[in-house]
Structure 1
Amino acid sequence: MNAVVLAVAVMLLLSLFRVHVVLALVIGSLVGGLVGGLGLTNTINVFTEGLGSNASIALSYALLGAFAVTLSRTGLPDAMIDGAIRLVGKNGDTKRNMYSKVLILFMILVMSCFSQNVIPVHIAFIPVLIPPLLKILNELQVDRRLTASIITFGLITPYMWFPAGFGAIFHEIVQKNMKESGMSIAVSMVPEAMTIPSLGMVAGLLLAVFFSYRKPRQYKTTDVAAQGAMETNSYTTFSLITAIASIVATLAVQLWTESMIFGALTGTAVLLLTGTLKRGEADQVLTQGMRMMSFIGFVMLSAAGFGAVLRKTGDVASLVKASADMIGDNKLLAAFLMLAIGLLVTMGIGSSFSTVPILTTIFVPLCMQLGFSEMATIAIIGAAGALGDAGSPASDSTLGPTSGLNADGQHNHIWDTCIPTFLHYNIPVLIFGMIAAMVL
């Protein structure tokens, strides 16, 4: 059996049975390496060496968590809560609650989308924005699966579709790797080609909002601080000003250096230098924040090792070649199999940006042989890369929402984030990707 298929299947199956995702990734790596002929010792070595590729990402998330908790000491989250409470009202009627729910969810959607293109901070906004809003979301009885679906939509669709921020990087990766594989295209063609697959994401979001999770869901309102996330703090005009200044400094340095690490350090330094965060409390607060985001860091490290093992087996290429032998001249079947392979690989690796270079080597010649147009080929490769980013237990597009929504321990990563986002986004993108392959 193909090592990639088996490794991903084992990882997903274990995750569904509530085995911790880090353990599922490690066990899946061992299974994939052994089936792929690497042997136990070589599998362990490849997995260990692969950890380093995501080390900077793990450190980035730890420091962003530290900055988020430090920022909470300014009272900014509490000011947001107070504003939300005034918006809803202590005894707000049903109509006002509905408007408040729509406004808050729309704000989360906008922030999520902006985090990819307008202000490319990725998931850094989640630990700052979401935990303080949990009380008010509970008051409005918002299903957290809906909130997770909204955030994941905002983390994925903008880079698929819009050529700015992370989208510019993704489009450049598609264009560069297609050129190296024998098909020269202009990077300006990518957004147009990705329009139809991106509409699949829109369809999934509408389904989640207006059908799947529109009913109220009750949660127990608890003190988030007891779970080790945010603490309740009083705030002053000065503390709010320093909070905003630290956010601006963080964004400016991150955009200048292209490093989340130095951006988070800058924001924390601003709060320390202004005295908003007391030096005597700094160690405890920073450690608390790192602990909050450590889950994501460990999963990203494990996912890097898992992906390294899958690539080392060489079975990604054999999986693609085996699928090519099944296709014949059937273009619809070809589109389906290429997209399904992309879904499988990304679900395992957890990164769309890493999947595209793996797939283009085989997909581009295959698309040329079958007579797919340049636009159709872009749509297939772009959609195949993006498929699986939603729903993957190892993707930061699912880990990010979970880190915020589970601040009080009432949101399960697999059942409340991964499965809802898998069903609402991967299936529509697969269908819309096939449509794009046939009409472009």
Structure 2
Amino acid sequence: MAAAVIMSVLVLTILSLLRVNVIIAILAAGLTAGVMNGESLIASLKLITDGMGEQASVALSYILLGAFAVAINYSGITTILVGYLVRVLKDMRTLTVLVIAGVASLSQNVVPVHIAFIPILIPPLLHLFDRMKLDRRAVAAALTFGLKAPYVMIPVGFGLIFHQTIQESMDSSGLSISITEIAQSLLIPGSGMIVGLLIAIFYTYRRKREPLESDAAHEINFAASSEKTKSVRFNWRHGLTLIAIFVTLFIQAFYENLVLAALAGLILMFVFKVIPFKQGDRVVTDGIAMMGTIAFVMLISGGYANVLTETESVSSLVDASSEYIGDNQAFIAFVLLLLGLVVTMGIGSSFATVPILAALFVPICFSAGFSPMATAALIGTAGALGDAGSPASDSTLGPTSGLNADGRHHHIWDTCVPTFIHYNIPLFIFGWAASLIL
């Protein structure tokens, strides 16, 4: 049923904005989609639980990364990092956010670790952010930019995977295009994200913001006092910690397996005796406290995506829309991008959405006279749309996992809403323009 996707995404969005826990919101959205497609509540729940297995590896990697981040903090090396940044950056809020955006951008192409760096880099800096009265929404915007824009525009690392997914999906639908052409077609939509980042940093969130009160029930002590920061000196434990970090980065880049990488790094921290064995339970428990909710959200989002896939809700929505869009290219592009926004907001993954959308977009674009590059721009933009701003996307869950380590950052209002506004709107406009220009 075509309306099932729209209604379920509305349920997800409204409940999330009302500050209902995101896990409950996604479950409600999945049940809504199932029931509206004629499934019983029990059958809908089974579809959700069956689909959760698709995200098991991602969820496990989140838990292990959380434990690894806690282990790194235990070594004291993060205290040195905070002390250095305090001395260098001081009250330069804008420069701080730009540096974070740059570091995040490296995580997709140069050192393809995706979100793995966030629980390691961001929690130790929260004390610095509060001291500078830096608006954490600006940091969330910078992190999401770095997690999305590079893979949209640059065919290296995760970007190559994304572009190859577009190429293979279009080819399977009978339309051939090169990786180079795909990269060129996505430069215009990606430029929209650059505009959104600049607006967020230099206009929307440039003012000082008083830090919120800490939620003691969720706080993890990553911040060191100024006195402790000054007293810590680099020692052999810090050197071994750097070795563990480099091994983790190498395994992730070479084997492209985040679970293995995080597990290897965590094991090395114990083998090197940087972390005493008797602290093992505490490290893992604190890691779960920091990343457990995010991991479970990814599991539930996989179940929700399975409901939409198994009930063919997405294809029904596109088929129903294609009957009314006519032959006006501008209107067709607008409707297709709107469909991409709705679908990806629910599924929460641009990589998973592309094959679904490509199979449905290619015939429509071909009959409407769009060029292969314009079609690629529509598919790539439609896939990327909604990834920023979606409560179930790792592009928003990742930043929240780091920024909320002390319980002072709300996933929906401080991450999802700002990133939706600053990236989905320019992506939509620039992607729509690209489809008409190319």
For the criterion TM > 0.5, the same-fold answer is yes
| Structure 1 residue 87, shift from structure 2 partner | 2.3
Superposition deviation, residue 256 in structure 1: 2.5
> Which of 112, 120, 128 is equivalent to 1:136?
128
Contact 1:73 1:231 in 2 (8 A): no
Q: 1:343 aligns with which of 330, 341, 344?
A: 341
Cα pair 2:353 2:383 within 8 Å, conserved:
yes
Secondary structure of the structure 2 residue equivalent to 1:388: coil
Contact persistence 1:224–1:231 (CA under 8 A): no
Maintained 8 Å contact 2:93/2:132: yes
Which residue in 2 is equivalent to 1:45?
46
The equivalent of 2:206 in structure 1 is 214
- Residues of 2 paired with 1:146 and 1:76: CA distance? 25
User: What is aligned with 1:316?
Assistant: 314
5+ residue gaps, structure 2, are: none
Quote the residue 2:59 is aligned against: 58
Deviation at 1:230, TM superposition (A): 2.9
Whole-Å separation in 2 of the counterparts to 1:225 and 1:317: 43
Q: Within 5 A, what are the aligned runs for 1:257-276?
A: 257-276=255-274
TM-score by length of 2: 0.95
Q: Which residue in the other structure is 2:119 paired with?
A: 127
Whole-angstrom distance in 1 between the partners of 2:98 and 2:364: 41
Q: In structure 1, how many angstroms separate the alpha carbons of the residues matched to 2:178 and 2:341?
A: 25
1:224 CA displacement:
8.7
Distance 1:67 1:259 in 2: 15
Q: Which residue of 2 aligns with 1:183?
A: 175
Query: Does 2:194 align with 1:202?
Result: yes
Correspondence 1:213-252 to 2 at 5 A: 213-219=205-211, 227-228=219-220, 230=222, 232=224, 234=232, 236-252=234-250
Change (3 A) 1:287 1:257: same
8 Å CA contact retained: 2:72, 2:120? yes
Equivalent residue letter for 1:434: W
User: For residue 262 of structure 2, what is the amino acid of its counterpart?
Assistant: A
Segment of structure 1 superposing worse, 216-225 or 249-258: 216-225
Q: Distance in 1 between matches of 2:316 and 2:288?
A: 41
Counterparts in 2 of 1:286 and 1:186: CA distance versus 1, 3 Å: same
Report Cα offsets for 1:310-340 as digits up to 9, x if no partner: 1122221121122211111111010011001
CA distance, structure 2, for counterparts of residue 368 and residue 17 of structure 1:
41
1:114 pairs with 2:115 = no
The superposition leaves residues 43-88 of structure 1 with CA deviations (integer Å, 9 ceiling, x where unpaired) of 1211111000000100011001010101111111100111122225
Number of positions where the alignment pairs a residue of Structure 1 with one of Structure 2: 431
**Contact 1:160 1:198 (8 Å CA) reproduced:** yes
| Percent of aligned pairs with the same amino acid | 47
User: 2:6 aligned with 1:8, yes or no?
Assistant: no
Shift of 1:119: 0.7
Separation in structure 2 between the aligned mates of residue 47 and residue 286 of structure 1, nearest angstrom: 28
SS in 1 for 2:178: coil
Counterpart code for 2:272: T
Q: Gaps spanning 5+ residues in structure 1: where? A: 90-96
RMSD: 1.7
CA distance in 2, matches of 1:49, 1:88: 48
Q: Structure 1 231/218 Cα, relative in aligned 2: closer, same or farther at 3 Å? A: closer
- Deviations for 1:82-101, whole angstroms, at most 9, x for unmatched residues? 11222256xxxxxxx2xx32
Name the residue aligned to 2:292.
Answer: 294
> SS of the counterpart of 2:108?
coil
- Alignment match, 2:162: 170
**In structure 1, C-alpha distance between the alignment counterparts of 2:117 and 2:192, rounded to whole Å:** 25
Task: State the partner residue of 1:93.
Answer: none
The residue matched to 1:228 in structure 2 has which SS?
A: coil
Task: Quote the offset at 1:295 in angstroms.
Answer: 1.2
Residue of structure 1 in register with 2:276 after alignment = 278
Could you tell me which amino acid in structure 2 is paired with residue 389 of structure 1? D
Which stretch shifts more, 50-59 or 240-249?
240-249
Shift of 1:341: 0.5
Give the Å deviation of 1:252: 1.1
Which one of 140, 147, 156 corresponds to residue 155 of structure 1?
147
Equivalent-residue separation in structure 2 for 1:70 and 1:235 (angstroms)? 18
Equivalent residue for 1:92? none
Q: Residue 398 of structure 2 corresponds to which residue in structure 1?
A: 400
Question: What is the CA distance between 1:103 and its match in structure 2?
Answer: 3.3
Equivalent AA in structure 2 for residue 349 of structure 1: I
Structure 2: how far apart are the matches of 1:214 and 1:106?
Answer: 12
**Superposed counterparts of 1:26-45, under 5 Å:** 26-45=27-46
Inter-partner Cα distance in structure 2 for 1:231 and 1:405: 12
Question: What TM-score do you get using the length of structure 1 for normalisation?
Answer: 0.95
